[in-house]
């Protein structure tokens, strides 16, 4: 009987070790993978990119805009419309990949998935700073190409953002050709007294409800990489 | 006819009261411009309050001459009909009051010609008033505030118009406003037939416009589908429709388009029908009228 108990105890320990082993290995892999991805991103010190911005938000009717995107390490990002006004979602600037990967965080390997036809490793980042605005980030990383294809970030204040990236001409620098940024929108409703509306007799549009999704798509046509971006651009 | 029109215009512009609306418009425009120049940001913060949590708002770029002109037109085009009534209500009643109407109809012109010329002079006055407003509200604002894309806060949507896509909309809107204000001029002109002095038609026109405007703005389902579509005041604001663009499948505004052109044209048709009805009635009544003064 004593032998049986000893045997069971030994078996339990062994089984526990076996079960725990992959998690430990994956956690290590995830951190290493992130380091490699970060190293790829780090080769870009700054860039200036030209692109077309399409905004698809239910309560915004804005034309497509030619924009210039400026980036400078570590986390300066500015989207400018040189010929007019562009309303840029706040998260689009603060939730940049460089921002996600800076600071201390705990990595969790969440297994494999498929994004845009590519097999990706899903890694969750938990910030170590309990007061950080970012609550959780999930990265979908193409391991073979060392590219982040998708990032989903949950913040304390502004809900969940999602960034999807597809790569082409500038893949060597891990810079996307197209970025689709999805975000939560708040309720839009203005009292009639301060709006410039008139009743044209057409069917009333559905009122915008809270919790709807907005989308901004940036298609880059060209990048100027590591040629320097003046600080004044970001002010 | 041309000579008669010149005489009518001379009579209008000889009276000091003709210039009161020009002065009033200048004062109102300058007051609004001054307010927006020094505290435009507060105004914009209120206008953009629904967006400021989610978007970066470039307030200094949004507060530009095109937006200022739009704000001014929104405020003024409700009051300008009252100013138009000041002159249009005086066209026939003023002559009756001065005792020159009987003399006028003895001239070698038909009464129809006389009435058409008098109404034509009122329309020219209305156009000049709008040109004055365009100079001050649009061009002076462009000079003071510069130009950029134009953002318009509607009830459920925020519209953005490219700077290069704005001016033609203003031209169309001013053209439409000319027809809208001519409707008020036609009403004042019609009422002017019945009075011996100009106070009556002026006050009556102002009262009718105020009552009908309130009815047009009220949100009562009973009126929405019955009375409102037929009130000329419901159609006077359709000039704003030129600033609403159509959107593509992805929700982006398409430059150079108008969201609901048929609705604007329908409103234009209603206003033109009112003008024709008012002027025809005025001519018909005037032709049958015994001129005793």
What gap in Å lies between CA B123 and CA A28, rounded to an integer?
82
What gap in Å lies between CA A46 and CA A70, rounded to an integer?
8
A202 at the B interface (CB within 8 A)? yes
For A126-185, write each residue's pLDDT tens digit. Answer: 888 777 777 888 999 998 888 899 999 888 877 788 999 999 999 988 899 999 999 888
> In the prediction, which pLDDT does A30 show?
81
> In the prediction, which pLDDT does A37 show?
86
> In the prediction, which pLDDT does A12 show?
44
> In the prediction, which pLDDT does A136 show?
86
Nearest to B193 by CA among B175, B208, B205, B181: B205
> Under an 8 A CB cutoff, do B156 and A189 touch?
yes
> Under an 8 A CB cutoff, do B154 and A196 touch?
yes
> In the prediction, which pLDDT does B180 show?
95
> Under an 8 A CB cutoff, do A59 and B148 touch?
no
For A42-57, write each residue's pLDDT tens digit. Answer: 888 899 999 999 998 8
Nearest to B138 by CA among B184, B90, B173: B173
What gap in Å lies between CA B170 and CA B69, rounded to an integer?
9
A235 at the B interface (CB within 8 A)? no
Which residues face A122 on adjacent strands?
A140
A159 to chain B: nearest residue by CA? B54
Torsion, Cα A5 A9 A10 A16, to 10 degrees, reads 160
> Under an 8 A CB cutoff, do B159 and A61 touch?
yes
> Under an 8 A CB cutoff, do B149 and A84 touch?
yes
Q: What number is the average pLDDT over the span B267-284?
A: 96
**Lowest mean pLDDT across A109-113, A203-207, B68-72, B100-104:** A203-207
Q: Does the pLDDT value for residue A91 go beyond 60?
A: yes
Name the residue among B58, B157, B252 with its Cβ closest to that of A59: B157
> Under an 8 A CB cutoff, do B54 and A214 touch?
yes
Q: What number is the average pLDDT over the span B21-45?
A: 93
> Under an 8 A CB cutoff, do B263 and A202 touch?
yes
Q: How close does chain A come to B139, measured CA to CA in Å?
A: 19
B235 to chain A: nearest residue by CA? A200
- Percentage of chain A exceeding pLDDT 90: 22
> Under an 8 A CB cutoff, do B154 and A201 touch?
no
Q: Write the CA distances from A77 to A93, A139, B243, integer angstroms.
A: 6, 20, 33
- Percentage of chain A exceeding pLDDT 70: 76
> Under an 8 A CB cutoff, do A85 and B148 touch?
yes
Q: How close does chain A come to B179, measured CA to CA in Å?
A: 17
Q: Does the pLDDT value for residue B178 go beyond 50?
A: yes
Residues of A within 8 A of B57 (CB-CB) are: 87
What gap in Å lies between CA B206 and CA B229, rounded to an integer?
20
| Residue given tokens 């020159």 in the structure block | B100
Residues of A within 8 A of B253 (CB-CB) are: 61-63
Q: How close does chain A come to B151, measured CA to CA in Å?
A: 9
> Under an 8 A CB cutoff, do A59 and B61 touch?
no
Name the residue among B54, B152, B229 with its Cβ closest to that of A196: B152
CB atoms within 10 A of CB B162: 20
For residues B195-211, one letter each, b for 16 or more C-beta atoms within 10 angstroms of the residue's C-beta and e for the rest, the string is bebbeebbebbbebbee
For B222-231, write each residue's pLDDT tens digit. Answer: 888 888 889 9
> Under an 8 A CB cutoff, do A60 and B157 touch?
yes
A53 to chain B: nearest residue by CA? B252
> Under an 8 A CB cutoff, do A188 and B156 touch?
yes
Residues of A within 8 A of B225 (CB-CB) are: none
Nearest to B114 by CA among B103, B125, B104, B124: B104
- A83 vs B141, more confident: B141
Q: What number is the average pLDDT over the span B52-63?
A: 88
Spell out the domain ranges in chain A. 22-195+209-222
Q: Which CATH entry fits the domain spanning A22-195+209-222: 1.20.1050.90, 2.50.20.10, 2.60.40.420, 3.40.50.300? A: 2.50.20.10
What residue ranges in A12-146 does DSSP mark as E strands? 46-56, 60-61, 65-72, 76-80, 88-89, 105-115, 118-127, 134-142
> In the prediction, which pLDDT does A196 show?
64
Q: What number is the average pLDDT over the span B38-54?
A: 85
> In the prediction, which pLDDT does A191 show?
62
Residues of A within 8 A of B66 (CB-CB) are: none
Name the residue among B55, B70, B162 with its Cβ closest to that of A89: B55
| Phi and psi torsions of B231, nearest 5° | -80, 135
Residues of B within 8 A of A213 (CB-CB) are: none
Q: What number is the average pLDDT over the span B207-211?
A: 93
Name the residue among A55, A84, A207 with its Cβ closest to that of B163: A84
Which of A150-159, B130-139, B215-224 is the most confident on average? B130-139
A78 to chain B: nearest residue by CA? B56
Residues 43-82 of A with CB under 8 A from B: 54-64
For B72-118, write each residue's pLDDT tens digit. Answer: 998 877 788 888 998 888 888 888 888 888 888 788 888 899 899 99
Residues of A within 8 A of B47 (CB-CB) are: 190, 194
Mean pLDDT in chain B?
Answer: 90
Q: Six-digit token pair at A201? A: 């007799």
pTM to 2 decimal places: 0.84
């Amino acid at each position: 009987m004593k032998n049986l108990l000893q045997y069971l105890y030994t078996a339990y320990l062994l089984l526990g070790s076996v079960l725990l082993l992959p998690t430990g290995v994956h956690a290590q892999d995830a951190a290493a993978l992130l380091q490699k991805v970060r190293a790829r991103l780090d080769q870009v010190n700054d860039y200036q990119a030209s692109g077309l911005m399409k905004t698809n938000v239910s309560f915004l009717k804005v034309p497509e805009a030619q924009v210039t995107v400026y980036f400078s390490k570590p986390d300066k990002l500015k989207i400018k419309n040189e010929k007019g006004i562009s309303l840029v979602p706040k998260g689009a600037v603060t939730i940049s990949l460089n921002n996600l990967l800076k600071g201390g965080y705990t990595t969790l390997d969440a297994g494999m998935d498929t994004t845009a036809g590519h097999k990706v490793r899903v890694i969750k980042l938990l910030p170590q700073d309990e007061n950080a605005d970012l609550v959780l980030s999930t990265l979908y990383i193409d391991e073979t190409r060392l590219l982040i294809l998708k990032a989903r970030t949950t913040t304390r204040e502004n809900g969940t953002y999602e960034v999807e990236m597809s790569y082409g001409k500038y893949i060597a620098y891990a810079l996307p050709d197209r970025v689709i940024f999805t975000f939560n929108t708040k309720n839009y409703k203005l009292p009639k007294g301060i709006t410039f509306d008139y009743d044209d007799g057409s069917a009333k549009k559905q009122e915008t409800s809270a919790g709807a999704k907005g989308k901004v798509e940036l298609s880059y046509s060209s990048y100027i990489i590591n040629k320097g971006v003046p600080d004044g651009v970001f002010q | 006819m041309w000579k008669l029109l010149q005489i009518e215009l001379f009579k209008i512009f000889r009276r000091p009261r003709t210039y009161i609306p020009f002065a009033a418009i200048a004062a109102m425009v300058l007051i609004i411009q001054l307010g927006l120049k020094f505290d435009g940001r507060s105004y914009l913060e209120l206008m953009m309050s629904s967006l400021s949590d989610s978007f970066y708002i470039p307030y200094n770029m949004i507060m530009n001459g095109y937006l200022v002109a739009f704000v001014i037109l929104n405020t003024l085009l409700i009051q300008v009909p009252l100013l138009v009534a000041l002159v249009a209500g005086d066209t026939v009643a003023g002559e009756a009051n001065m005792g020159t109407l009987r003399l006028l109809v003895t001239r070698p012109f038909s009464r129809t010609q006389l009435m058409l010329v008098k109404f034509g002079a009122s329309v020219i006055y209305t156009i000049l008033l709008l040109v004055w407003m365009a100079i001050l509200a649009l061009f002076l604002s462009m000079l003071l505030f510069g130009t950029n894309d134009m953002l318009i806060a509607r009830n459920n949507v925020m519209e953005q118009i490219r700077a290069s896509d704005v001016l033609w909309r203003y031209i169309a809107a001013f053209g439409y406003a000319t027809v809208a204000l001519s409707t008020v001029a036609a009403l004042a002109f019609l009422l002017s037939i019945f009075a011996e002095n100009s106070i009556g038609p002026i006050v009556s026109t102002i009262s009718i416009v105020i009552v009908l405007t309130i009815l047009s703005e009220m949100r009562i389902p009973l009126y929405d589908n019955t009375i409102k579509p037929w009130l000329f005041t419901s159609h006077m604001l359709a000039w704003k429709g030129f600033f609403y663009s159509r959107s593509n499948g992805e929700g982006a505004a398409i430059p150079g388009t108008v969201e609901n052109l048929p609705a604007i044209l329908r409103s234009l048709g209603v206003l033109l029908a009112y003008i024709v009805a008012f002027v025809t009635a005025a001519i018909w009544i005037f032709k049958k009228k015994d001129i005793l003064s």
